[in-house]
Amino acid sequence: MSEAFGFMFAFYGLLLGLAVAEVASGFSRAYDERKTRRLGFVAPLFGTLLLVDLITFWMNAWAYRELAEISYLAAFAVALVALLYYFAATQVFPKATETDTLDDHIMGHRREVAFCVLASNLLTQIPPATSAFTTPWPLSDITLWAGLNLTYYSLLCTAALAKSKKTVGIALVGAILLITSATAIFA
């Protein structure tokens, strides 16, 4: 592990850790308020999606452990990815002063959450996409990489744009299963 990676990973880990803490705090508030505010299923699914995707981000960062140096652009990109996730995490669960049910809250904020997750994922795919062109990948690798990512992005867009809670929930379950199975297989 390089010193540059250690330096960058500490920064990235701190920011991702804040997002994880925000989601955990939201789950805790939801549990505490369960008798006065209905839990529903969409908000917990969005919270779960953020947690599994954040863990995957953290694990994928390890691929850069031989990073020789850090540029300002790389540091900015890392901060942007993590801060988009933090913002998404703050939008999943309502604040204590809000009176919406959890599902009503997230249905009103699902676009922001899903599109922040989508933007973060797109940003992190720039290095592999560049690598696929500069060091030609086998067609099977490109097909698998593109297929997994496009499926995930489609599920995120469905969760963001669908009007039905059931459709949003199905898209989120699909996204969670895709992330966890792909990470288990390829990590």
Q: For residue 49, give the nearest of 23, 87, 29, 30 by alpha carbon.
A: 23
Provide the pLDDT for residue 20. Answer: 94
Query: Which of 117, 21, 115, 5 lies closest to 61, judged by CA?
Result: 5
Q: Given the structure tokens 């140096």, which residue do they identify?
A: 69
Note the pLDDT tens digit of each residue in 65-104: 777 788 888 889 889 999 999 999 999 998 878 888 899 9
pLDDT at 22: 95
Rounded to whole angstroms, the Cα distance separating 80 from 179 reads 21
Helix (H, G, I), strand (E, B) or coil at 52: helix
Other C-beta atoms closer than 10 Å to the C-beta of 66 total 9
The whole-angstrom separation of Cα 73 and Cα 50 is: 25
| Mean pLDDT value of segment 1-30 | 86
- Report residue 21's pLDDT band, with 50, 70 and 90 as the boundaries: very high
Please state, in angstroms and rounded to a whole number, the distance separating the CA atoms of residues 13 and 80.
Answer: 13
The whole-chain average pLDDT of the chain stands at 90
Percent of the chain scored above 70 by pLDDT?
99
Q: Please state the φ and ψ torsions of residue 128, each to the nearest 5 degrees.
A: -65, -35
In angstroms, the CA 105 to CA 121 distance is 24
Enter the pTM of the model.
0.90
Distance CA 100, CA 187 (A): 39
Q: Which of the residue ranges 1-10, 11-20, 28-37, 147-156 would you say has the lowest mean pLDDT?
A: 1-10
DSSP code for 138: P
pLDDT over 90 (residue 11): no
Q: Which of 70, 156, 75, 150 is nearest to 110 (CA)?
A: 156
